[in-house]
Amino acid sequence: TSVVVSGESEAVEAVAGHFTSLGRKSSRLKVSHAFHSPLMEPMLDDFRAVAESLSYSVPVLPVVAVGEVTDPEYWVRHVRDAVRFKDGVERLVGEGVTRFVEVGPDGVLTGLAQGVLEDVESVHLIASQRRHRVEAETLVAAVAGFHCAGGGVDWEAFYAPSGARRVELPTYAFRKRRYWVESGLRAGGVVQAAPSAEPETPPSDGLLRKRLALLTEGERDRELLRLVREHAVGVLGHETIDEVEADRAFMELGFDSVAAGELRRRLSHAAGVDLPATLIFDYPTSRAVAEHLRVSLDTVSDSAADTVLGEIDRLDGVLGSLDPATDHARVAARLEALWRRWQDTHAAAEPVSEPAQDLDVASDDELFSLLDGELGSS
């Protein structure tokens, strides 16, 4: 899906022009020489002489390379031969690597690795710097992202110059709820360092569809637009949704390839749909993405009934735990009022007869039998 062509300008421009005519994107790299092309061959003998004059030792840190890095000829090939980036990333994954940190002035390699690892689970990609972002904040976010991905961080060294000290976390004595992270590793997906990130749990099947089915058409459109803008805010590290205008192009908002991949991942996760890798190029604004989401979700007309029946099933699971002496009459009255309101709303379209039972004395099974019959359960 992405390749670098290197060589004489005329030939390179002809290749780029061909793919541009097919509707593909191309951009010219700002480099001093046509590295990894035949144009490097005149300097290889001199380069080899220098490489052979150096002393080599086995690296202290592991290095993934096609060949031995202690061999001078490896570095000669490195100047001339093609860069096998995809092969290198896949080899790392094959050897069990799950966290990638790009150390450099931007997230270019992180974006490229996203494309390579599109279908690989439990891999985390983190860029230590991003163009047009505050360096210190981005680096701290990268360290935090690495930590959240299960990586080991020397926090004593990190906080040493700041004068920070350990304190007890405040508790909330009236709610019996834990807030501790149970595991250092998250469930999967690809994540970049960002000030905010959603939980990496698999999306509930049809949850968004069911929620949207209860809304009017206009409300559905607004809900999907809000969803897209909120995730765009998280990707860009902004604080409020107002900073992501609905009709402003993502490129104008500061999106790059890494941010584009992150937004696509977040929205795919939130909506439970497989969105295209070229999402923000095909749909360049938040409103356009929201409209595409609406089509992708393909909310069917009977999903509202499925949602209601699902709620009845959930209610069925808890009704039996009520105390008949104290709760039965109150709950029965609410169910009766709900049924009568629903009957009145739909009487013109589909007349419904009065229930024969007295709801005040009906059993739990009788109540649910009534609801299932009147609301259309099979």
pLDDT tens per residue, range 253-304:
888 888 888 898 889 888 888 888 888 888 999 999 999 998 888 644 445 5
Is the separation of the CB atoms in 284 and 251 below 8 Å? yes
Residue 256 has what DSSP assignment? -
Q: Cα 228 from chain centroid?
A: 12
Query: Does 2 or 356 have the greater pLDDT score?
Result: 2
The pLDDT value given to residue 290 = 92
In sequence order, which ranges of the chain are alpha helices (DSSP H)? 9-21, 44-52, 72-80, 85-94, 108-116, 135-148, 155-159, 207-213, 217-236, 250-253, 257-271, 279-282, 286-297, 303-319, 328-346, 364-374
Token representation of residue 105: 């002035």
Q: Is 193 exposed, middle or buried (0-12, 13-18, 19+ CB in 10 A)?
A: buried
The pLDDT value given to residue 179 = 58
- CB-based contacts of 257, cutoff 8 Å, min separation 6: 107, 108, 111, 112, 114
Report helix, strand or coil for 285.
Answer: strand
Tens of pLDDT, residue by residue over 222-234, are 999 999 999 998 8
Indicate the CATH number for domain 207-297: 1.10.1200.10
Q: How confident is the model over 180-198, as a mean pLDDT?
A: 42
End-to-end C-alpha distance for the chain, whole angstroms: 49
The pLDDT value given to residue 327 = 76
Least confident residue range of 172-181, 193-202, 243-252: 193-202
pTM above 0.85, yes or no: no
Q: How confident is the model over 299-311, as a mean pLDDT?
A: 56
The pLDDT value given to residue 60 = 93
Q: Cα 85 from chain centroid?
A: 23
**Mean per-residue pLDDT over the chain, rounded:** 80
pLDDT at 241 over 50: yes
Residue intervals of the chain classified under CATH 1.10.1200.10 are: 207-297
